[in-house]
Amino acid sequence: MNKTNVLSVSGGKDSTAMYLLAMERGIEFRAVFADTGNEHKITLEYIRELPKRTGGPVIEWVTADFAEDISRKKRVIADKWARENVPEWKREQAIAALQPSGHQFLDLCKVHGRFPSTRARFCSSELKHEPIYRVHESLMDQGKTVISWQGVRAEESPRRAALPEMDWPAPNLCNYRPILRWTLDEVVAIHARHGLELNPLYQMGMNRVGCMPCIHSRKSEIKRIAELFPEYIEKVEIWEEQVRQAAKRNEATATFFAQDVTPLGRKTKSPQGIREVVRWAKTGPGGDVRQLTLDLGDDHQCLSAMGACE
């Protein structure tokens, strides 16, 4: 079989463990990272340095391009929105907002006129899966069979626990999940064997180290991001306004987090902008404004979202 192993790398603990496992097995492979335009600079640096620190293959960067989608959306606004009697000022505002930004995540949201959510998780499909699949497609067009290595673990969710270790969505494409049954301890151990630290963001209190922030960030993560990286909160605030301008009628979905994230949002069914979400993240359970715990600072507590020392 003329096969090529292609590993999807994100800078997180599991995909890095998979990268190290392939090296340990002595397997030739290509490693691909899909840049969403919404990663933390620490994650980007971690990915750049990974081959140097391990001696593994260079990591190829791929990105989505929404230039054609933006042009198409402008035509829809000029034609369909006009026929739907969307006010002229709104149409002009949306067209003006639809300029390529250099941030793929933002451009995608402007095209959709909203941010992704649990039920509309187009960020993963259009920013990660499709660019990486184009790599697979190119290889398959050359007559190769692609073994797509995916760093997912059953411990992470019931949905992932139900996945098989291997499946064939096409005759010449195999999805392979080599660490599906691994525990967190095993993930940490393979890093240690190679003298490699985990992405530093974990030790800073992050549970997710891909998008910064992720639409699924926990309350504690949002609080920590606001404390350590306020510039990323400011970024989201700017993006919310730009997506709102590109939306047809300033929909409620033009906020980064879904409207049911905060207690107020769940109660009023009203969307909460990033600043309101950050204020809520600094409260106790249920939005209690009293400080729940005393923040002693990094010198006194381990903030690892992974519990790596436990």
Indicate the pTM of the whole model.
0.88
| CB atoms near residue 171 (< 10 Å) | 8
Judged against a pLDDT cut of 60, whether residue 293 lies above it is answered with no
Of 131-145, 233-247, 266-280, least confident by mean pLDDT is 266-280
Task: State residue 252's pLDDT score.
Answer: 59
Residue 218 exposed, middle or buried by CB count within 10 Å (0-12, 13-18, 19+): middle
Q: 31-54: per-residue pLDDT in tens?
A: 999 999 999 999 999 999 999 999
Q: Is the peptide bond before 57 cis (omega within 30 degrees of 0)?
A: no
Q: What percent of the chain has pLDDT over 90?
A: 80
CA dihedral of residues 253, 259, 264, 267 (deg, nearest 10): 110
Task: State residue 284's pLDDT score.
Answer: 87
Task: State residue 229's pLDDT score.
Answer: 97
Task: State residue 303's pLDDT score.
Answer: 39
Tell me what the pLDDT averaged over the chain comes to: 90
Task: State residue 57's pLDDT score.
Answer: 97
3-class SS of residue 19: helix
Judged against a pLDDT cut of 60, whether residue 309 lies above it is answered with no
Q: How many residues does the chain have?
A: 310
Beta bridge partners of 30: 6
All domains of the chain in start order, with CATH: 3-64+125-201 (3.40.50.620), 67-112 (no CATH)
Considering only CA atoms, which of 154, 151, 178 is closest in space to residue 165?
A: 178
For 29-94, the DSSP string reads EEEEEEE-S-B-HHHHHHHHHHHHHH--PPEEEEE---HHHHHHHHHHIIIIIHHTT--HHHHHHH
Cβ atoms of 100 and 59 closer than 8 Å:
no
Q: 197-254: per-residue pLDDT in tens?
A: 999 999 999 988 989 999 999 999 999 999 999 999 999 999 999 999 999 876 656 8
Judged against a pLDDT cut of 70, whether residue 131 lies above it is answered with yes
Query: What distance in Å separates the CA atoms of residue 128 and residue 10, rounded to the nearest whole number?
Result: 9
